[in-house]
């Protein structure tokens, strides 16, 4: 019957072999493990490569300059006795403070806050004046245009969404009644590049050392936070600046890939809970993180030394420390431009491709000159360092007991100690001056005395030597 359906015979039935389920599962698991390992290695390699690329880009944004050619660095012995002349600028008002200027722009009026409106004009120059206070924040932008040698700065600015690449904070100004210049206003900043530490710089060095594309300044709102501008807060900021100057730059904190996991507790989460605020307070009382990036240095200075985050009126139920005004201690470089705690206004100078510079009004004592007026009350000197002066200058960067007292708010004893130190320093300078004068007047007399006594002393010495020889020969013979 079977053959009726076809010419070929039907092959006999053979059962199919079914693979063992355990073997199949083991093989599948091995493949997944292998693929996972490959993916893990690839992810690690990609992360390392991205980390290196980020480091390279961040180094390219640095406002760096060769150390030997940086004349304005305070306490690091890179000062020169003179600098380039300050150009006269018609848009610099007399007595208006420090005047930051730019080429290829002109003043086109004033805004509602009284600041100059600066617009591009290829044939003119324009300036914006600012009278500095301790605690003012300075924002520097990437170089103007799309210059190839600053491509890293352009790329970082593109990804961060802000042209600002560097921040600094003012920590010294001259006393009232002394004209502010580019020499006696001092800012503190954390630098990458060849420095990799916290430095204090003259404001002129800060502005002119690098072709920034724009410079903005913001100030804590004095109406909402008047305690920031008290003498106590100024002393605290000065003490804090002395303590942290010279501390290392934080290469891990500046890298967004590493800052949360590789900074050993130095990173504080934005808008922190009570536990993180308490941890930050303890860290501040212990001297701070001891490693810094530029924005972090500014944030800690205004938040803790300036007491914005220490106001007891901001206490909340269930926490032993106040709520914070400065809620991000590692902000982006442009974040504080529009922070809630800064006063209204948008002070800014756009810079040409070659950067900005400092100018002076025609009536200024600096007009056509090469250096600031030699006023004993200014904050910097241009004296060539000696061994003794090096020791004294090093001592100014170390945290003193007065500095620690100011950090903890006991400003009365700190102020008294500072007055005593200032008095002692004045007496020391006076005594040194009188000693030097007396010493100089005695040099000719000492020289004459030495010349007169030299011929007589030489024969006498020879005679004594001959007498000793004769005694020795006599002793041996006997």
Q: Is residue 200 part of a domain?
A: yes
Candidate from 77-81, 291-295, 322-326, 472-476 with smallest mean pLDDT: 77-81
Which of the pair, 382 or 236, is modelled with greater confidence? 236
Inform me whether the pLDDT recorded for 90 exceeds 60.
Answer: yes
Whole-angstrom Cα Rg for the chain: 35
Q: Give the integer Cα–Cα distance in Å for 237 and 222.
A: 16
Q: Is residue 442 part of a domain?
A: no
Q: Could you tell me the residue range of the domain that residue 175 belongs to?
A: 58-359
pLDDT for position 307: 97
**Are the C-beta atoms of residues 119 and 348 closer than 8 Å to each other?**
no
Inform me whether the pLDDT recorded for 207 exceeds 60.
Answer: yes
Q: For the segment 224-259, what is each residue's pLDDT rounded down to a tens digit?
A: 999 999 999 999 999 999 999 999 998 887 777 776
Which of the pair, 24 or 191, is modelled with greater confidence? 191
pLDDT for position 24: 56
Q: Is residue 213 part of a domain?
A: yes
**Are the C-beta atoms of residues 185 and 352 closer than 8 Å to each other?**
no
Which of the pair, 113 or 147, is modelled with greater confidence? 113
Q: Is residue 241 part of a domain?
A: yes
Number of domain units in the chain: 1
Q: Give the integer Cα–Cα distance in Å for 90 and 361.
A: 6
Tokens in use for 460?
């006498």
pLDDT for position 68: 34
Candidate from 14-28, 157-171, 172-186, 293-307 with smallest mean pLDDT: 14-28
Residue in 86, 125, 87 with CA at minimum distance from that of residue 104: 125
pLDDT band, very low/low/confident/very high, at 365 (cuts 50, 70, 90): confident
User: Average per-residue pLDDT in the chain?
Assistant: 74
Q: Is residue 301 part of a domain?
A: yes
Q: Is residue 184 part of a domain?
A: yes
Inform me whether the pLDDT recorded for 315 exceeds 90.
Answer: yes
C-alpha dihedral sign at 360, 363, 365, 367: positive
Inform me whether the pLDDT recorded for 334 exceeds 50.
Answer: yes
Q: For the segment 4-21, what is each residue's pLDDT rounded down to a tens digit?
A: 545 556 566 555 555 555
Residue in 321, 316, 307, 326 with CA at minimum distance from that of residue 277: 321
Percentages (nearest 5) of helix, strand, coil residues in the chain: 40, 15, 40
Query: What is the CATH classification number for the domain harbouring 114?
Result: 3.90.1720.10
């Amino acid at each position: 019957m079977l053959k009726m359906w076809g010419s070929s015979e039907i092959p006999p039935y053979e059962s199919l072999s079914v693979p063992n389920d355990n073997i199949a599962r083991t093989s599948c698991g091995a493949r997944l493990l292998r693929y996972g390992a490959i993916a893990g290695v690839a992810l690690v390699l990609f992360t390392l490569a991205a980390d290196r690329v980020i480091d390279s880009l961040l180094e390219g944004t640095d406002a760096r300059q060769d150390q030997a050619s940086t004349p304005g660095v305070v306490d690091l012995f890179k000062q020169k006795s003179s600098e380039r002349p300050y150009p006269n600028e018609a848009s610099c008002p007399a007595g208006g403070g420090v005047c930051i200027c730019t080429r290829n722009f002109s003043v086109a009026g004033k805004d509602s806050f009284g600041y100059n409106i600066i617009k591009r004009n290829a044939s003119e120059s324009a300036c914006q004046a600012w009278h500095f206070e301790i605690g003012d924040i300075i924002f520097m932008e990437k170089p103007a245009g799309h210059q190839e040698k600053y491509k890293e700065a352009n790329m970082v600015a593109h990804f961060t969404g802000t042209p600002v690449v560097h921040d600094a904070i003012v920590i010294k100004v001259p006393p009232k009644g002394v004209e502010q210049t580019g020499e006696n206003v001092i800012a503190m900043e954390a630098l990458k590049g060849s420095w990799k530490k916290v430095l204090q710089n003259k404001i002129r060095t800060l502005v002119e050392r690098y072709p920034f594309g724009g410079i903005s300044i913001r100030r804590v709102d004095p109406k909402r936070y008047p305690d920031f501008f008290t003498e106590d807060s100024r002393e605290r900021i000065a003490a804090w600046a002395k303590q942290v100057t010279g501390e290392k730059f934080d290469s891990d904190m500046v890298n967004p890939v590493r800052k949360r996991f590789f900074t050993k507790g130095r990173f504080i989460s934005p808008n922190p809970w009570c536990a993180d605020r308490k941890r930050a307070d303890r860290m501040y009382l212990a001297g701070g993180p001891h490693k810094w990036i530029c924005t972090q240095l500014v944030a800690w200075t205004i938040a803790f030394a300036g007491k914005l985050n220490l106001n007891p009126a901001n206490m909340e139920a269930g926490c032993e420390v106040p709520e914070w005004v400065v809620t991000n201690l590692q902000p982006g470089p442009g974040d504080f431009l529009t922070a809630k705690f800064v006063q209204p206004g948008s002070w800014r100078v756009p810079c040409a491709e070659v950067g900005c510079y400092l100018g002076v009004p025609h009536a200024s004592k600096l007009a056509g000159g090469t250096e600031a007026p030699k006023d004993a009350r200014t904050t910097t000197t241009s004296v060539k360092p000696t061994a003794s002066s090096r020791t004294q200058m090093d001592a100014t960067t170390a945290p003193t007991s007065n500095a620690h007292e100011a950090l903890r708010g006991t400003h009365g004893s700190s102020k008294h100690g500072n007055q005593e130190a200032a008095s002692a320093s004045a007496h020391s300078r006076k005594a040194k001056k009188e000693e030097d004068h007396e010493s100089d007047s005695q040099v000719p007399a000492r020289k004459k005395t030495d010349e007169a006594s030299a011929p007589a002393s030489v024969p006498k010495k020879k005679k004594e030597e001959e007498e000793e020889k004769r005694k020795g020969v006599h002793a041996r013979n006997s």
